[in-house]
Structure 1
Amino acid sequence: MALDFSKYFDRYEELVAEVDNLFVRFEKDFPDQVKCEKGCCDCCYALFDLSLVEALYINHHFREQFSGRDKNAVMEAADQADRQIFKLKRKLFKASKEGKGAHEIMSEVARARVRCPMLGEGDLCRMYDRRPLTCRLYGVPTAIAGKGHTCAKSGFVAGEKYPTVSMDALHDRLLAISQELADDIQSRYKQLGDVLMPLSTAVLNIFNDEYLGIRDAEPKEQAAKPAAPKPVEPKAPEAAPVSEACASCTEDKSKCQTCAEKSFSIVLGGPDKDGE
């Protein structure tokens, strides 16, 4: 089956355009605080996951853009990063079993440093024009589950009040596109739309029919035969958490799209710029 995700990639690129416009507004309104510049790669060592549609988008353009020795170099770097992330996730899972709280575990994730496989010579991104949303917003104030974050190299001061981008709202929109994609291909994996993965895994993956759980059409003469045992569905990672603001929202849920397009203000707390 030929897989064409262009419809979903177009919708994803519309969201990319919104995010880029937000960043331009921050650069205009806070020129002394936004420190992003060519060669700065602090965000290229941060850990974060991609939604299904973003993973498919990165994978598609990577395989379209790279070949030969360059492709092998990226895949080797992705394999190395994937191994590091796997070890870290095992460590964090063990910590959760030992009773460590979510805040302590997330703080450890924030301190972890893994080089992105797309970071090339001269500390320049090999796929800058196709970089994920998280990369595009790294240098401005963001909030996850109501907690403020910003790049340690920026000029944004902890405790001050700034317009802040809700990453929860963006993730919700990414997950909505991913779920629609999963529904349209009639995946047998009910939680496919909730899948999250690091960029390194997205590069290495082969997103074929088997991976996506696409059912093969059964011949008519076999329609009367007993159905085969249903395969065990892979357990997908949990969906992105809903922010406290969304959980207590009294608005009609049909307005979520409008709310997602807005930024809001919070106070960045704590002694450092990550709000710790």
Structure 2
Amino acid sequence: MALDFTEYFERYEAIVAEVDAVFEKFETEMPDLVKCGKGCSDCCHALFDITLAEAIYINKKFNEKFSGLERSEILQRADQADRQIHKLKRKVYKMSQEGKPPSEVLHEVSRARVRCPMLGDDDLCAMYEHRPITCRLYGVPTSIGGEAHTCNQAGFKGGEKYPTVNMDIVLDRLITIGKDLQKGVDSRFKDLGDMLLPLSMAIVTDYNEEYLGVKGKEKPAPKKAAQVGTSFTGSGKAEEAGKSAAAESKKPAAGKGKDEACASCTESESACATCDLKTITLGGGK
């Protein structure tokens, strides 16, 4: 019997709606700074992972929409992207083995330009309606671990303070859906809900009972999230660097005492869980 992901998809779509509303708020209130427009594909060459629930959702939409030659072309581009990502993993692993600091390793990752398999020759997204959440927020200030980022094409300037989307909270909510999905399908893989993987891998995966580790179905466990996605971990120093980076990315940036932006907040600490916007300095300036 086919697995029913309806509950988890509805929760994911609710987050998508919130994220779209936030982006629209930026476009309405800061039209001169948000430069996103049809044909701009800067975000389509960025390197990022998606969570389990998002991966299964996008996989379903992909399988519903594409067939024939168009599907084959996208899968071919996905294979090319995976090859690039694999080479990058090997490169940063070697850097870690050589004792390079985590900041240098992460900088190398941030410089990577991997073409999204959904980007067509016309520079338009073939799955724009169902694009990942990261894509939906590209072009406005976002923060991870208290550090702000934005698109190079946008008009936001380094050293200036802007409302900023707290991606740590968004990621935590997505991972929570994945963990609930893990329990809902009665998976024997305890780390399944923490899985992160690139879009190129998400669309080619068959999320059946065996893959998800539904009890009673025999199949080797999928690799842990840090090995499946683009977290670039292996063993030894590389693994330690990856764990350090992962821990940093999950810090509750909106938590009390975590950064200057929250110092003047008068809400109780419990309010951090629902805070998705805050004002911080872009580029980490004071």
Tell me the TM-score range normalised by the shorter chain.
Answer: 0.7 to 0.9
What TM-score do the two structures reach when normalised by structure 1?
0.87
Deviations 1:183-211 (A, max 9, x none): 11110100000000000000111111111
Q: Which amino acid aligns with 2:101?
A: G
Q: CA deviation at 1:247?
A: 6.2
Q: Secondary structure at the match of 1:214?
A: coil
The aligned residue for residue 221 of structure 1 is none
Q: Is the 8 A contact 2:56 2:207 kept in 1?
A: yes
How many residues were matched structurally?
Answer: 258
Q: Secondary structure at the match of 2:94?
A: helix
* Secondary structure class of the residue paired with 2:63: helix
* Aligned with 1:236 (options 205, 225, 244): 225
Question: How far apart are 1:252 and its partner, in Å?
Answer: 7.5
Q: Distance in 1 between matches of 2:86 and 2:215?
A: 30
Cross-structure match for 1:87: 87
Matched, 1:245 2:253: yes
1:15 corresponds in structure 2 to: 15
Distance 1:202 1:129, change over 3 A: same
RMSD between aligned alpha carbons? 2.4
**Do structure 1's residue 137 and structure 2's residue 145 form an aligned pair?**
no
Note closer, same or farther for the CA distance 1:232–1:192 as it changes in structure 2 (3 Å cut).
Answer: closer
Do the aligned partners of residues 47 and 233 (structure 1) sit closer, same or farther apart at CA in structure 2, a change above 3 Å counting?
Answer: closer
The answer on whether the counterparts of 2:143 and 2:149 sit within 8 Å (CA) in structure 1 is yes
In structure 2, the partner of 1:201 is: 201
Residue deviations 1:225-272 (CA, integer Å, cap 9, x gap): xxx9x976743326673225356569887655423xx301111127xx
1: CA distance between counterparts of 2:81 and 2:34?
28
Q: What is the rounded CA distance, in whole Å, between the counterparts of 1:33 and 1:268 in structure 2?
A: 13
1:94 positional shift? 1.9
Alignment of 1:100 with 2:129, yes or no, is no
Query: How far apart, CA to CA, are the structure 1 residues paired with 2:221 and 2:52?
Result: 20
Amino acid at match of 2:277: S
Q: 1:115 to 1:10 in 2, by over 3 A?
A: same
- Which position in structure 2 is the counterpart of 1:61? 61
Asked if the contact 1:79–1:204 (Cα under 8 Å) also holds between the matched residues in 2, the reply is no
TM-score, normalization by structure 2 = 0.84
Flag structure 2 segments of 5+ consecutive residues without an equivalent.
227-242, 259-266
Once the two structures are superposed, the pairs formed by residues 137-156 of structure 1 within 5 Å of their partners are 137-156=137-156
Distance 1:263 1:41, change over 3 A: same
Q: Is 1:211 aligned to 2:211, yes or no?
A: yes
Write the mapping of 1:91-130 to structure 2, written as runs, cut at 5 A. Answer: 91-130=91-130
CA distance in structure 2 between the partners assigned to 1:171 and 1:245 by the alignment: 12
Identity, % of aligned pairs? Answer: 56
Partner residue of 1:159?
A: 159
Partners of 1:253 and 1:57 lie apart in 2 by 32
SS of 2:16's equivalent in the other structure is: helix
Any idea what the Cα deviations from partners look like across 1:20-53, whole Å, max 9, x if unmatched? 0000110111111100000000000000000000
What residue in structure 2 maps to residue 70 of structure 1? Answer: 70
> Aligned to 2:171, what secondary structure does the other structure show?
helix
For 2:203, what is the secondary structure of its paired residue? helix
TM superposition shift of 1:19: 0.4
Larger Cα-atom Rg: 1
Cα deviation for residue 151 of structure 1 reads: 0.4
